[in-house]
Amino acid sequence: MIQTMSKHYSCGKRKKVDEYTTYHKTCELKRKYKATSKCKNKNKCIHKGTWKKLLKERASMVKTPVKPRAKLKPKAKTTGHKVKKAQKKATPVKPRAKLKPKAKTTGHKVKKAQKKATPVKPRAKLKPKAKTTGHKVKKAQKKATPVKPRAKLKPKAKTTGHKVKKAQKKATPVKPRAKSKQKAKTTGHKVKKAPVRAPAKSKPKALPTRHKAKKVLKKALKKAPVKALLKSKPKGDTVKSLDSSEDDAVDKSAKSVKNVHIDYMTILRTIYEPWHGKMTWFPEWTIEKAKKNWDQLMKEARVFYSKNDNKHLVQQVVTQREPANIGMDKCYDDWKLQEYFGNDQSFYATHYQMEGELAPNIAVYTPTYVKYKGNTNTFIHVLNSVGYAFDNHRQADHQYFIKKPKHNLTQELIKKYESIFRLMVQCATNLDLTKIVVSLVGGDSFASAYDHPEKPDSEDPRDYFQRTVWAPAFLTVYKEALKSYKELEWKFMGAATSTAFAIVKASIKKAYNKNISDLGFFPSLLDDPWVSKPKTLFINAWDPHSVPGNGNEADPSLDGRIGRITNIAVNGTPMTNPHMKYIAVKV
């Protein structure tokens, strides 16, 4: 067949074609020009050529000679299946081996033949009884079996069902119930309440839940107006006399209030948790001491705050406290604290998280007994003052003041500490005390991370804070107190080597020609002859989160040293003291 070059009408490219066929690049299909059919892809390639056009193209094009094919060898003529067929014919076929006569009959025919050859044994004759099978046999057996007559029922059994049970119930004598104890009368959610977890060796046993204690307190308050009696009597007021029956009711309700809050003290001890293997809870003897000296210790406790502060916020700050918080490590069971006292952290922290502002600064006065030289009979006056905490970047005070411009930060802190020192003076004058033993409130541990922008790198943060904030604020208030309260005397404790004490001592000597000294550490300073215990106010460096005394035995600060040998924890918060008085003063 002659091959020629044909021009494709769509793409313009030439292709080798035979007599009848052309190849289309765009659609990739073979089509014969004889058919003159159109391609499936009509948009790209349309067959416009015909047979006559093809002949004209062939005439105009130069014919190329076709080389003859090489002759194939004779053997290669027959290829594919024909070769195989030829080879098959050449191979001689072996005759099949003759099968044995027996093997001619196969399959089921063989089995049939074998079956016929095997003699069949006759079946054994069945017994006459076995002729009836199935349910008929059972029926026959049933008929043959004699039926026993039923035993006569007793007359009582004539009434069946619930009537029989009713009759039996009436006939059975009912035993009288044993009288239950009085405690078993309260059932329901009170019974279901889980007991408090067993404490450590020195901790008290588990007590009833706060829910029960609240119910007891509520019943007690209904019987008599205790709240009126708990308030301090103003001067010049007269109290209406009560009948004997009313007096008895008041005594009972007051005892109930006392007992409930003594239970709260024991519960509060169980909430503390150890810190680095050391005990953090307050001593157990303080509860017994508070029980015996209730009026002296509990009813004389007071909260001092500025007149400019909201009283409701002040009450929240005093009430919602954490048992122990050492360096922002919470040493207590927060679930138990929430269960019994209604908060899982201090209000001071919560208020800053919610409002972005600091809660009011307070000072709590706690009359207390001191365990010193083997006895607990020494009575002193302690004021728990709160400094601003810069010991940890998580402290609310640190986060609040660090946002302030550097030129306003120092001046604002000086004003804040002047208010703290004025609360000390107001407390001393309110209690008719003439001596104050002051500590470095907020100037020692709390100033360990005071990152002021202007602080030199070589100077310790505590020294810088005492020099720029603490000492100037103290000297301002000292000057004011010297004019208003001439009899008021000041001494320091635990500050002999501090920068603040050196500045204050030099300034007072220069300005007023007076000597101010440091008495040493608590409680050994109680033996100093200058200390007159009935007339001296000791300033404890407290913190904004914890119960007074904080970590006690585990706390190395002044707060812990005072807390472990006094009862400031039990009468320094409304969690355990229902008689706290709130005194607003001008600062």
Q: What is the mean pLDDT of residues 44-62?
A: 54
Inform me whether the pLDDT recorded for 547 exceeds 90. yes
- Over range 542-569, report the average pLDDT: 95
Q: Is residue 577 part of a domain?
A: yes
- Say if 464 falls within a structural domain: yes
> What is the structure's pLDDT at 452?
87
Measured CA to CA in angstroms, residue 262 lies from 59, 255, 318 at distances of 128, 10, 18
Between 78 and 467, the more confident residue is 467
Q: How confident is the model at residue 205 (pLDDT cuts 50, 70, 90)?
A: very low
Percent of the residues in the chain that have a pLDDT greater than 90, as a whole number = 52
Mean pLDDT of the region 92-106? 61
Write the pLDDT tens digit of every residue in 225-259.
Answer: 333 333 333 333 333 333 444 445 545 566 788 99
107 in any annotated domain: no
How far apart CA 553 and CA 544 sit, in angstroms, is 19
3-state secondary structure of 175: coil
Q: Supply the pLDDT for residue 403.
A: 74
Q: What is the pLDDT of residue 451?
A: 86
The mean pLDDT value for 24-47 works out to: 44
The mean pLDDT of 305-327, rounded to a whole number, is: 95
Extract the tokens encoding 319: 């009430």
The domain in which residue 323 lies consists of 291-585
**CA–CA separation, 418 vs 416, rounded Å?**
5
The rounded distance, in Å, linking the Cα atoms of 389 and 448 is: 9
Contact 86, 78 (CB under 8 A): yes
**To the nearest whole number, what is the mean pLDDT of the chain?**
76
Distances (CA, A) of 218 to 207, 214, 296: 18, 6, 25
- According to the model, what pLDDT value does residue 408 have? 82
408 phi and psi, to 5 degrees? -100, -20
| DSSP-H helix ranges across 395-470 | 396-401, 406-430, 461-465
**pLDDT of 263 higher than 70:** yes
Average pLDDT rounded to a whole number, residues 298-326 = 96
pLDDT of 199 reads 47
Is 80 exceeded by the pLDDT of residue 410?
Answer: yes
Distances (CA, A) of 37 to 8, 23, 24, 578: 15, 14, 13, 110
Q: Look at 44-58, 206-220, 482-496, 515-529 and tell me which has the smallest mean pLDDT.
A: 206-220
Whether residue 247 lies inside any domain: the answer is no
Is 258 part of any domain?
A: no
More confident residue, 151 or 475: 475
Q: Among 344, 339, 352, which residue's Cα sits nearest to residue 389? A: 352
Domain assignment present for 118: no
Q: What is the pLDDT of residue 39?
A: 47
Q: Is residue 100 part of a domain?
A: no
Q: What are the tens digits of pLDDT across the range 411-450?
A: 999 999 999 999 999 999 999 999 999 999 999 999 999 9
Counted domains in the chain: 2
User: By three-state DSSP, how is residue 213 classified?
Assistant: helix
Helices (H) and strands (E) in the chain, counts: 22, 13
Label residues 164-188 b or e (16+ Cβ within 10 Å = b).
eeeeeeeeeeeeeeeeeeeeeeeee
Q: Does the structure show a pLDDT above 80 at 495?
A: yes
Is the pLDDT assigned to residue 221 strictly greater than 50?
no
The residue from 42, 60, 78 where one domain ends is 60
- pLDDT tens string 79-90: 556 656 656 666
For residue 121, being part of any structural domain is answered with no
pLDDT score recorded for residue 402: 81
Section 288-310 average pLDDT: 95
Given a cut of 90, whether residue 502 has pLDDT beyond it is yes
Mean pLDDT to the nearest integer, 186-190: 46
> Is pLDDT at 193 greater than 80 in this prediction?
no
